[in-house]
Amino acid sequence: MTLPIRNVAIIAHVDHGKTTLVDALLKQSGIFREGEDVPDCVMDSNALERERGITILAKNTAVHYGETLINIVDTPGHADFGGEVERVLGMVDGCILIVDANEGPMPQTRFVLKKALEKGLRPIVVVNKIDRPQADPHGATDKVLDLFLELGADDDQCDFPYLFASGISGYAKEKLEDEAKDMQPLFEAILRHVPAPVGDADKQLQLQVTTLDYSEYLGRIVIGKIHNGIIRMGQQAGLVKENGEVVKAKITKLMGFEGLKRIEITEASAGNIVAVSGFADANIGETITDPNEPQALPLIKVDEPTLQMTFWVNDSPFAGQEGKLVTSRQVRDRLLRELETNVALRVEETDSPDKFLVSGRGELHLGILIETMRREGFEFQVSQPQVIYREVNGQPCEPYELLVLDIPEDAVGSCIERLGQRKGEMQDMQVGSNGRTQLEFVIPARGLIGFRGEFMRMTRGEGIMNHSFLDYRPITGDIEARNKGVLISFEEGVSTFYAMKNAEDRGVFFIVPGTKVYRGMIVGEHNRPQDLELNVCKTKQLTNHRAAGGDELVQLQAPVDMSLERALEYIGPDELVEVTPQSIRLRKLAKKLAKR
């Protein structure tokens, strides 16, 4: 007898507490043995996820509640990783929408909820973080209903069940006045409101591949939900490829999920989520089925990329000094390998064997790929991100974003003025009681490139900025780009304190004394709109006379720390970011440098 099953996805805006709530469900289900050291955000297994505190890859786990097996899929909250959300929603029959009791629905809430409603799912709404000061749980619930209506939800979806919770404290409750105990009300809500999977174990096998993994021992592992039929260890099966070709293979390993682990099983039937090895060429969206009577499921449709940048082989004077993987063949192979698991990514080869056009869903999506490759030992360069234009009904169009800012009151005027210059149109403004204001804009994606650094300066680091893809609209006029030039080193060497101190009134530096520089490397931002080449390696001419006051302590202004994200947003069309395992450098294209 098979256990009753519930398959549920957890969706939310980034930082609204998805992963923490999953932690609470896992702890209550008893999957951790007594005394076991359990880290926070156990589902964020990737090093980058832990560092940034965000979910990048969709992952699934399974817990037992009474006699029911509940498969839980934790999805990313950031719209840049929407490809992950779209492909896993086909595995589940219900979803839990988590909303911050203080912030209410945010741009990515709209994005992930829209995808769930399009799939016909009826979400359970969980108003999280109700124990925080300034929380307004009922206000957040009303805003969620407004969002459901705005997104065209049907009557059944609008009549959503909702609970109040605190993931970090480990409790959920149906009414605010109820006593806070544990997560049992949420488990009960899942059993009541998430339908059991629809599937017939007596039909031909149909399993859709939604996630890919890799093991050194088993090779490629495919994860997906069995829509119909029964899958057995060791059986012969067929993989229906995207082009309709059927590839036969033997199922060498069949695994189910138990907590955070995969356990070997001998068979599984319709409704289960399983991991299978034996299909070396499987790709996302393809169907594992009966080889004699193959029946493919519809391929998974993922929104197209909106941003692209060029990856170059590193040709700077310091090329090959810090990275192990530097050739065009190594970069090309790595990018093509990324395509196997990253469904929202596109890679095109160009006329030059040293350049590759890489398209993704946003700066964060591409930035995570760059950071991952950098940590693997790759060394390469990337160009300024560019939006992807499309033709809609014969008219050239560009992507637009919905932008929400949460800022201190004294920064409102400067933010509105700057976004107006970037072709942003204000849709809504709400003044809070805590000295903060929430602004909502519709803005071309072009207008957001390079805005984050300015935004942090205007709000003195206190602003919160969120945006998500809205739609394609006719192209607007030119958008004012960066209004300041850069400081460029015109010789190779080591930067000195003396030279930098003398040039300090020209702008702000991105480097510190003792940094190795080369001709064409960008070392700072000029105070004026034009670029300026200068010598940051000049040394002081020493004499045998001691100058009066020569021993006084002189200090340089603190340099601007150019992280990868900041560098990608900062560079102009004639500039590149040089990425190595140890350094992030900005440089001018060689042909743009003045002849000397």
Residue 50 binned pLDDT confidence (cut-offs 50, 70, 90): very low
Task: Give the mean pLDDT of 552-578.
Answer: 82
Task: Give the mean pLDDT of 521-526.
Answer: 92
At residue 10, does pLDDT exceed 60? yes
Residue among 162, 205, 407, 188 at smallest CA distance from 294:
205
pLDDT top residue among 566 and 591: 566
Lowest mean pLDDT among 132-136, 548-552, 577-581: 548-552
At residue 43, does pLDDT exceed 70? no
At residue 589, does pLDDT exceed 80? yes
Q: Residues 273, 305, 568, CA angle at the centre, nearest 5°?
A: 115
Amino acid at 334: R
Task: Give the mean pLDDT of 578-582.
Answer: 92
Q: Which residues of 430-464 are buried (b: 16+ CB within 10 A; e: fewer)?
A: eeeeeebbbbebbbbbbbbbbbbbbbeebbeeebe
Lowest mean pLDDT among 200-204, 409-413, 489-493: 200-204
Annotated binding site: 15-20, 128-131
Superfamily of domain 206-289: Translation factors (2.40.30.10)
Annotated binding site for GTP: 15-20, 128-131
Q: What is the residue whose two structure tokens read 């169009």? A: 397
Query: Where along the chain do its domains lie?
Result: 5-193, 206-289, 390-474, 486-577+584-592
Report whether 300 contacts 285 (CB < 8 A): yes
Residue 519 binned pLDDT confidence (cut-offs 50, 70, 90): very high
Q: Give pLDDT, residue 45.
A: 42
Distance of CA 86 to the CA centre of its chain: 13
CATH architecture of 5-193: 3-Layer(aba) Sandwich (3.40)
390-474 is classed CATH 3.30.360.10: no
Report whether 207 contacts 288 (CB < 8 A): yes
CA distances from 430 to 410, 433, 439, 447 (A): 14, 10, 7, 23
Task: Give the mean pLDDT of 25-51.
Answer: 48
Strand 425-431 vs strand 395-408: parallel, antiparallel, or unpaired? Answer: unpaired
At residue 66, does pLDDT exceed 90? no
Q: Compute and round to an integer the Cα radius of gyration of the chain.
A: 27
84 by Cβ neighbours in 10 Å (0-12 / 13-18 / 19+) ranks as: buried
Question: Could you give the percent of the chain with pLDDT greater than 70?
Answer: 85
pLDDT top residue among 92 and 214: 92
Q: Which residues pair with 392 in a beta bridge?
A: 395
Q: Give pLDDT, residue 338.
A: 82
At residue 323, does pLDDT exceed 90? no
The tokens describing 267, both together, are: 């068979």
Strand 521-526 vs strand 307-313: parallel, antiparallel, or unpaired? Answer: unpaired
Q: Give pLDDT, residue 219.
A: 77
Region for 19 from its dihedrals, namely left if φ exceeds 0, alpha if ψ lies in -120 to 50, beta otherwise: alpha
For 127-141, write each residue's pLDDT tens digit: 888 887 777 888 888
pLDDT top residue among 563 and 517: 517
Task: Give the mean pLDDT of 581-594.
Answer: 78
Q: Give pLDDT, residue 2.
A: 60
At residue 497, does pLDDT exceed 50? yes
Q: Give pLDDT, residue 477.
A: 80
Q: What is the residue whose two structure tokens read 């911050």? A: 100
Q: Which fold has domain 486-577+584-592?
A: OB fold (Dihydrolipoamide Acetyltransferase, E2P) (2.40.50)
At residue 77, does pLDDT exceed 60? no
Report whether 327 contacts 380 (CB < 8 A): no
- Cα-flanking dihedrals φ and ψ of residue 187, to 5°? -60, -45
Q: What distance in Å separates the CA atoms of residue 211 and residue 61, rounded to the nearest whole number? A: 13
Mean pLDDT of the chain: 80
Q: Give pLDDT, residue 488.
A: 92
Amino acid at 320: G
At residue 34, does pLDDT exceed 60? no
Q: Give pLDDT, residue 579.
A: 92
Q: Give pLDDT, residue 518.
A: 92
pLDDT top residue among 487 and 38: 487
At residue 15, does pLDDT exceed 90? no
CA distances from 275 to 57, 64, 136 (A): 16, 18, 41
Q: Give pLDDT, residue 79.
A: 47
Q: Give pLDDT, residue 442.
A: 92
* DSSP letter string, 160-193: --EEEEETTTTEEESSTTS----SHHHHHHHHHH
Q: What is the residue whose two structure tokens read 């006084």? A: 552
For 332-368, write each residue's pLDDT tens digit: 999 988 877 676 788 998 888 889 999 987 777 788 8
The 3-state DSSP class for residue 375 equals helix
Q: Give pLDDT, residue 86.
A: 65
Q: Give pLDDT, residue 302.
A: 64
Residue 577 binned pLDDT confidence (cut-offs 50, 70, 90): very high
Residue 524 binned pLDDT confidence (cut-offs 50, 70, 90): very high
Q: Give pLDDT, residue 197.
A: 85
Q: Give pLDDT, residue 16.
A: 63
Task: Give the mean pLDDT of 146-175.
Answer: 83
- Cα-flanking dihedrals φ and ψ of residue 290, to 5°? -70, 125
At residue 78, does pLDDT exceed 80? no
